[in-house]
Amino acid sequence: MKNLLLIGVIIVIFLSGCQKDEVKYSAWNKYFELPNKYTSRSEEKLDYDLLNVSNNIFILGNYHEDFWQFDVENKELIEKKIPPSLYTRYPTNTFVVDKECFICFQYYDSLILYNYDSYTNKWYPKKGVSLDFLLGDVQIRSFTTHDKAYVIIQSVELISYGGPNYGTISHEDYYYQFWCYNILTDEWEKLTDYPKYFKPTFFTFQNRYFLAFGKSEYGTTNKVWEYFPETNEWYERSPFPGTDRYGAVSFISNNKIYCGLGYSKSIEGYTNDFWEYNINSDTWEQVGGFENADSKTSESFVVDTTNYIIVNEGIWKFNGWE
């Protein structure tokens, strides 16, 4: 009888664990599969940038052919066109300031900027930025205020050297610059250096601006900073208690900040957890996860009050953690 009771307890514990795991991952459901027509060009998955203009979602991929408007309600991609003059430039970042759409393109040692009119599908050139380094594997991140965009330009170059008697030694050289673009004057201002990590995650909440995670030649980090545009200063906050990473995604839901996913050099693998960040107490709490995440770059957007993320070349809908 005791043995039967013990077996019953074990079964209950096992089922309880299964239910917890189910709750942990049930926050997400696959909403739409994005096309990847260019897998033959590279083993890397496509990166995506987003424009959200009054709930109108535009998705931009690595190549000029990858530009769509996403009809969320009807689950339909509407193909958009990039001007032929930009075919040899690679899209690298997007931002929206006061309902004005801007798209950055990479070209050698320059950042080219265009204003995109999403209603007429017309493109207007804006002033770009000349850099003092070539743009290799480039990642550009940005956050915006009411009339300015703060743009972090990052580039990494793989350097290999050696000889037949010594073998080949490789290392990565990282380059960083931090700029502010004023849409009213069409002028760029170079700012002081920011925390130098590649592929960090930005999130903005209640007019406060945060940067978290990233990688460098020393590995990935769990550090978090807050930026103050008025004084152009960065202040380090409490470190993230989870696994260090880069390429994470963040989103705001019900006035709460969530961050998760990404890739960690310390474990040499993808992370699949999500955490809530409280900006008032400067604390983190793990809230859930995402099953089978295998992307080093993710994006998020919100339509009305529903959140979505792009990961694993698909769009996933957020249903809440409970």
What does the chain come to in residues? 322
Residues 208-267 have pLDDT tens digits of 999 999 998 888 999 999 999 999 999 999 999 999 999 999 999 999 999 999 999 999
Q: How far apart are CA 20 and CA 22, in angstroms?
A: 5
Residue 18, domain member (yes or no)? no
Residue 157: per-residue pLDDT: 72
> Tokens at residue 151, please?
């743009």
Tokens of 268: 């040499």
pLDDT tens digits, one per residue of 105-128: 888 888 899 999 999 999 999 999
- Model confidence over 289-301: pLDDT tens digits? 998 777 777 899 9
Per residue, the 3-state secondary structure of 271-305, as one string, reads CCEEEEEECCCCEEEEEEECCCCCCCCCEEEEECC
Q: How far, in Å, CA of 254 to CA of 247, rounded?
A: 23
Residue 16 maps to a domain: no
CB-based contact 229:239 (threshold 8 Å) = no
Residue 72's SS3 state is coil
Please, is 128 exposed, middle or buried when counting C-beta atoms within 10 Å of its C-beta (0-12, 13-18, 19+)? middle
The CATH code of the domain that includes 204 is 2.120.10.80
By the 10 Å C-beta count (0-12 exposed, 13-18 middle, 19+ buried), 200 is classed as: buried
The confidence band for 6, taking pLDDT boundaries of 50, 70 and 90, is: very low
Q: Does the residue 6 lie in any domain?
A: no
State residue 32's pLDDT score: 94
Write out the two tokens for 200.
């960090």
> What's the predicted TM-score (pTM) here?
0.84
Give the pairing type, strands 122-130 and 219-220. Answer: unpaired
| Contact in structure between 279 and 232 (CB atoms under 8 Å) | no
**Dist CA 47 CA 53 (whole Å):** 20
Residue 279 lies in a domain: yes
Instruction: Residue 51: give the domain boundaries.
Output: 28-35+44-318
Q: How many CA atoms lie within 13 A of 126 on its CB side?
A: 22
Residue 17 domain-assigned (yes or no) = no
- State what percent of residues in the chain have pLDDT above 70: 82
Q: Is residue 5 part of a domain?
A: no
DSSP secondary structure code for residue 46 in this structure: P
The number of folded domains in the chain is 1
